[in-house]
């Protein structure tokens, strides 16, 4: 992920992930995976991940073999194995070909009631088992209207990351996703994204020191399109995108990857 030049500031490689959410048939998922793999090829300028629904993971994994696209899951359970009906463990995801798991997405926090203690437990188990984690956070509209976003970021970062070692933290990508921007067509301005990412990075510095904080990719999610990508990516602390709706069409997703790679 990040690497260091002249022992000074790291160059963070851009990271673009497509979160397909609960969309696609098997045929659509395979076609989308194949088209993304073809478009990205083996170019490693941008790290590209696709996160299909659980049942399509292996099939999509087959379509991206030989390309530099990696596979991610949209969720993972907090225990390693056992009597947890309907849940999927980190080891199962690894065996299905996943490198990443998304944890703490706002739809899981707000629709499915996932608490911060559960998110922290999931992060620990996923990292212990060898996954990389895309850790999501972000404020609601009412929190932003009351100017509480920094308080929310601080709480979410500290809660989700409590107890992680430096080595574990190297496998985390943070995704800032303001809830009011998800699926609404209302994208954060580049300045709003930069302010949020800079604040989150300052909290990571407090927890893990400058070197790790500077190497951690902090990506933006919420109504990202090919048109608004370059503006967002031009900000110094915006290191990529977590894309929902626009990741369901290969053309728009690849245009976002391309725009992220030229900044």
Catalytic residues: 105, 177
**Taking CB under 6 A as the rule, does residue 19 contact ligand 13P?**
yes
**Taking CB under 6 A as the rule, does residue 72 contact ligand 13P?**
no
Residues 225, 252: Cα–Cα separation, whole Å: 7
R_g (Cα) of the chain, nearest Å = 17
Residues 215, 226: Cα–Cα separation, whole Å: 26
Residues 34, 61: Cα–Cα separation, whole Å: 9
Beta-carbon contacts of 100 under 8 Å, excluding residues fewer than 6 positions away, are: 17, 49, 51, 70, 71, 72, 73, 131, 132, 133, 134, 173
Nearer to ligand 13P, 18 or 261 (CB): 18
**Taking CB under 6 A as the rule, does residue 114 contact ligand 13P?**
no
**Secondary structure of residue 43 in the 3-state scheme:** coil
Q: Interacting stretch for ligand 13P, rule CB under 6 A, among 33-41, 124-132, 160-168, 239-247?
A: 239-247
Residues 84, 139: Cα–Cα separation, whole Å: 30
> Structure tokens of 34?
């194949």
Residues 40-43: contacts with CB under 8 Å, at least 24 apart: 40/67, 40/68, 40/69, 40/254, 40/257, 41/67, 41/68, 42/66, 42/67, 42/68, 43/68, 43/261
**Taking CB under 6 A as the rule, does residue 55 contact ligand 13P?**
no
Residue with tokens 């002249």: 6
**Taking CB under 6 A as the rule, does residue 178 contact ligand 13P?**
no
Nearer to ligand 13P, 183 or 209 (CB): 183
**Taking CB under 6 A as the rule, does residue 76 contact ligand 13P?**
no
Contact between residue 133 and residue 172 where contact means Cβ atoms under 8 Å apart: yes
Question: How many positions of this chain bind ligand 13P (CB under 6 A)?
Answer: 14
**Taking CB under 6 A as the rule, does residue 52 contact ligand 13P?**
no
**Taking CB under 6 A as the rule, does residue 221 contact ligand 13P?**
yes
**Taking CB under 6 A as the rule, does residue 245 contact ligand 13P?**
yes
**Taking CB under 6 A as the rule, does residue 101 contact ligand 13P?**
no
**Taking CB under 6 A as the rule, does residue 240 contact ligand 13P?**
no
Q: Interacting stretch for ligand 13P, rule CB under 6 A, among 54-62, 90-98, 163-171, 243-251?
A: 243-251
Q: Interacting stretch for ligand 13P, rule CB under 6 A, among 153-161, 162-170, 228-236, 240-248?
A: 240-248
CA 40 from chain centre, in angstroms, equals 18
Nearer to ligand 13P, 61 or 178 (CB): 178
Interface residue with ligand 13P, options 70, 76, 119, 182 (CB under 6 A): 182
Nearer to ligand 13P, 41 or 183 (CB): 183
Interface residue with ligand 13P, options 41, 130, 183, 236 (CB under 6 A): 183
Residues 225, 121: Cα–Cα separation, whole Å: 32
The residues binding ligand 13P (CB under 6 A) are 19, 105, 177, 182-183, 221-224, 242-246
């Amino acid at each position: 992920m990040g690497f260091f030049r002249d022992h000074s500031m790291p160059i963070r490689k851009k990271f673009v992930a497509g979160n397909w959410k609960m969309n696609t048939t098997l045929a659509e998922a395979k076609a989308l995976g194949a088209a993304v793999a073809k478009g990205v090829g083996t170019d490693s300028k941008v790290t590209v991940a696709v996160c299909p629904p659980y049942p399509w993971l292996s099939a999509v994994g087959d379509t991206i073999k030989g390309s530099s696209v990696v596979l991610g899951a949209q969720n993972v359970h907090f225990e390693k194995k056992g009597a947890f009906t309907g849940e999927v463990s980190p080891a199962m995801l690894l065996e299905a070909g996943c490198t990443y798991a998304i944890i703490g997405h706002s739809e899981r926090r707000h629709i499915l009631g996932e608490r911060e203690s559960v998110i922290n437990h999931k992060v620990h188990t996923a990292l212990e088992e060898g996954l990389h984690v895309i850790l999501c956070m972000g404020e609601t509209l009412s929190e932003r209207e009351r100017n509480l976003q920094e308080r929310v970021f601080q709480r979410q970062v500290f809660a989700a990351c409590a107890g992680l070692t430096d080595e574990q933290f190297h496998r985390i990508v943070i995704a800032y996703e303001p809830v009011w921007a998800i699926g609404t067509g209302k994208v954060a301005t580049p300045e709003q994204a930069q302010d949020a990412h800079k604040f989150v990075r300052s909290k990571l510095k407090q927890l893990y020191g400058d070197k790790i904080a500077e190497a951690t990719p902090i990506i933006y999610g919420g109504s990202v399109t090919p048109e608004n990508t370059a503006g967002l990516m031009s900000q110094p602390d915006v290191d990529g995108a977590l894309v929902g709706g626009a990741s369901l069409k290969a053309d728009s997703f690849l245009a976002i990857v391309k725009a992220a790679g030229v900044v």
